[in-house]
Amino acid sequence: MHLLTARVRDNNAVVISHKTLARLLGVKSVTTIKTALAVLEADRWIEVRQIGQNGTVNAYVINDRVAWSGARDGIRYSLFSATVIAASDEQPDVEDLGHQEPLRRLPSLFRDEGQLPSGPGLPPPSQPFFDGMEPDLPTTGQEESDP
């Protein structure tokens, strides 16, 4: 409980895997972590919300219940802020960490600003005429002369 509380910061939840939680606590068995979390949940110290299908990564909510929205397509959703703790050795690209190209940045707009298109842009879309629907453009009756 102390480890979760120390990492909750300004949010009311911490997202962390069992494996990383065990490492931070210095515990070798993930089963010990699961047992301790079950006790905290049973005594209503935390609310556990599963992230994904297998249940090895969860959001541990402290001091408050998660608010659930109304059903949409038969599924209820919840939106909450959480501190997320990720371990590098659990990442599929562990060798590349710290060496990735920077992400593209979204431009920021202030309150009285508007976005204006700039740059070369794309050519206008072009669609060929449908058979039999070619435009009948007016022409003059002059014939071309040979030079």
Type and span of the H or E element at 13: strand 13-17
Whole-angstrom distance, CA of residue 35 vs CA of residue 41:
10
72, β-bridge pairs: 75
Whole-angstrom distance, CA of residue 16 vs CA of residue 51:
10
For the chain, 147 residues long, the average pLDDT of each consecutive 10-residue run is 77 86 91 92 87 79 74 74 84 85 80 81 81 75 68
Q: How far is CA 83 from the centre of its chain?
A: 14
Q: Kindly list the distances between the CA atom of residue 57 and the CA atoms of 19, 52, 54, 86, in Å, as whole numbers in the listed order.
A: 9, 7, 8, 10
Helices (H), the chain: 2-7, 18-25, 30-42
For the question of whether the overall pTM of this predicted structure is more than 0.95, the answer is no
Chain position carrying tokens 């931070």: 24
CATH classification (class only), 2-86: mainly alpha
**Domain map (residue ranges) of the chain:** 2-86
